Amino acid sequence: MNEPAIPLSQVKLFGSRFARPECVLATAAGDVFASDRRGGVSHVLPHGEHRLYVGATLDLAEAFHPNGIALQQDGSFLGAHLGMHEGGLFRLTRDGQLTPVLREVDGETLPSTNFVVLDSKPGRVWITVSTRRTPRMGAFTRAVQDGFIILLDEKGARIVADGLCFANECRVDPTGTWLYVNETYKRELTRFRIGADGSLSGRETVTQFGPGEFPDGLVFDAEGGAWVTTIVANRVLRVARDGSVAVMLEEHHPEHVEEVERAYQAGLVDRSLLDHARARILANVSSMAFCGPDLRTGLFGVLLADRLPTAPLPFTGAAPPHWTWR
């Protein structure tokens, strides 16, 4: 494995009091948003004030647990509910109103729902469900391939890709041609060609990852490089258009990776192994956003810390659809 492009010494920690900030977003104005396990979204304003937006609804039998979040133009959020026994997509306003957007698709009640992201095409939303198994920990193996991708647009919601091995974050590439998705326990980055009607076809493996590299977060730079955050190995990787992989940042603990790798090969990965990573800065790095006025700073979501790592980057990010919103 080649040396990281960004030394760990250049990482700084941002904010405080985050609670399992799995998914992070940033805007041109300097706002930072993170999903929050307390039932909503944490917001750090440009001047440093920290706000927490939470909501509850009788439509859920358990507390709202947003995993992936997406900022809407009106300032509300879409949140993928990562419930133990149920899932779905919900809309959260900043005054605490929580309403269901999607509870079933193609006749299936949605199980624990992982991620939601906006397309640059207005009104088009992509959603991932990692597995149909309940609880989802039963799918922490490459032997289970029942995850799927949902497209929600003006025609409604429908499953557009199925048979994925723990579908995690997905993202449309800067050309608008491909939808990329991380298959976490297959340890692959996969892509589909997007049709004019939003259909997906031509499934391809972009690259396969190595020991301990379980892909979670996904974002693109302006050159079309896919940045993938990997839990366990605690690496941030850049996958070039040709599929070649470069280590951009890491906080690697070989002993922990070896322990998880043995369990993975035996089909015995469980939550306790994932929740005891030794990294303290990139503490199970789970997502990434480009931020700063020039989109040359990385902001990272983490599963096991209450502060967000940030680092200067050698590439400029592709501006997300919500970049100019607040």
* DSSP secondary structure letters along 200-252: EEEEEEEEE--TTEEEEEEEEBTTSPEEEEEEETTEEEEE-TTS-EEEEEE--
Domain annotation covers residue 326: no
d(CA 109, CA 86): 8
The closest alpha carbon to 277, from 232, 320, 309, belongs to 232
Domain annotation covers residue 308: yes
pLDDT of residue 278: 82
d(CA 145, CA 163): 5
Domain annotation covers residue 2: no
Domain annotation covers residue 323: no
Domain annotation covers residue 318: no
d(CA 297, CA 292): 6
Domain annotation covers residue 1: no
* CB contact at 8 A, 141 and 93: no
Eight-class DSSP state of 138: G
pLDDT of residue 276: 81
Query: What is the domain count for the chain?
Result: 1
Question: What confidence tens digit (pLDDT) does each residue in 248-278 have?
Answer: 999 989 999 999 999 999 999 999 999 887 8
Judged by DSSP in three states, 139 sits in helix
pLDDT of residue 2: 72
Eight-class DSSP state of 197: T
Domain annotation covers residue 254: yes
Give the residue numbers spanning the domain of 242. 8-312
Domain annotation covers residue 190: yes
pLDDT of residue 99: 97
pLDDT of residue 1: 62
CB within 8 Å of 292: residues ≥ 6 apart: none
pLDDT in tens, the chain (326 residues): 678 999 999 999 999 999 999 999 999 999 999 999 999 999 999 999 999 999 999 889 899 999 999 999 999 999 999 999 999 999 999 999 999 999 999 999 999 999 999 999 999 999 999 999 999 999 999 999 999 999 999 999 999 999 999 999 999 999 999 999 999 999 999 999 999 999 999 999 999 999 999 999 999 999 999 999 999 999 999 999 999 999 999 998 999 999 999 999 999 999 999 988 788 999 999 999 999 999 999 999 999 999 999 999 999 999 999 999 99
* CB contact at 8 A, 189 and 206: yes
Here the CATH number for the domain that contains residue 124 is: 2.120.10.30
